[in-house]
Structure 1
């Protein structure tokens, strides 16, 4: 189970959205729904809501997000010890974008991919191996290994990927922006074109 970093959670209440998320958010169609997993205070929900997206957030405690983003659909759930809270009779509810930052729970990765609508965008950024040399998290369970996000996104169209050190604040990260196929694989689906 991940160790919560209360300093990070408190900082997010006042911080701007991730530069990685804002950099690639223009790829979303204006009417798509966005899911922020482990949404914390709602900094990314607020970013996408301000751009006209319907936003959903999932976290163990959604009180802070509710205060910052009153129009968001928020689901309080322990996603590490309970069932995925956004299931439908046909599987996970799907979204035009799934956003995850500073959070890693490997058993959830397949559900996140299933939560992408056809042509949906995955924006993921979290700590990577090497972070143990500069701070927390430091346990390997909570650090992506080199190339791990690329392996997770093997069936997606990767638009951007980075793995390395960032100086301010000092941390090692891995991040990806990747599209789900427009139609199921093997259906003859064309690769979607998106302006970078």
Structure 2
């Protein structure tokens, strides 16, 4: 999969370098945690020069946010076979919550990265939020109402921040989001 980078369009060779860096970042993150992760360490792990790595990623937060964006973009939205829009929405929320459920180190890093102030992270937040919004709108179908979509986005964002803060696991948050979303969708 050749995803457009957050800072510019990529040639095939550049896309391969970005892929190497994001794969290496997962290895370094697993070993060092988010606080120990540096772009320099990721570059070394990937066999890429540090200056080259900084050409693509302005910070470790940018790199981690890109990892989440790529994971989200590579995950197809639920099929929509379910005829009930409520069930489709619940499946979208669950799928997004569980993207990181099996990788608590990555999940915590994503939460920290997405809350950062790096302009490249801000750009990715918009892309991520736009993708999630579109999935919710598609799931709601004819029932799509901007206020309902916004409320569902708030449920999702709040649940993931709470999970990132350690209040509950991502799997537990998926269940809590279901309860909250049902209250909104069924009135």
Higher strand share: 1
Query: In terms of Rg, which structure is larger?
Result: 2
For the criterion TM > 0.5, the same-fold answer is no
Q: Output the TM-score relative to the length of structure 1.
A: 0.28
Q: TM-score, normalised by structure 2?
A: 0.29
Kindly indicate which of the two structures has a greater share of residues assigned to helix: 2
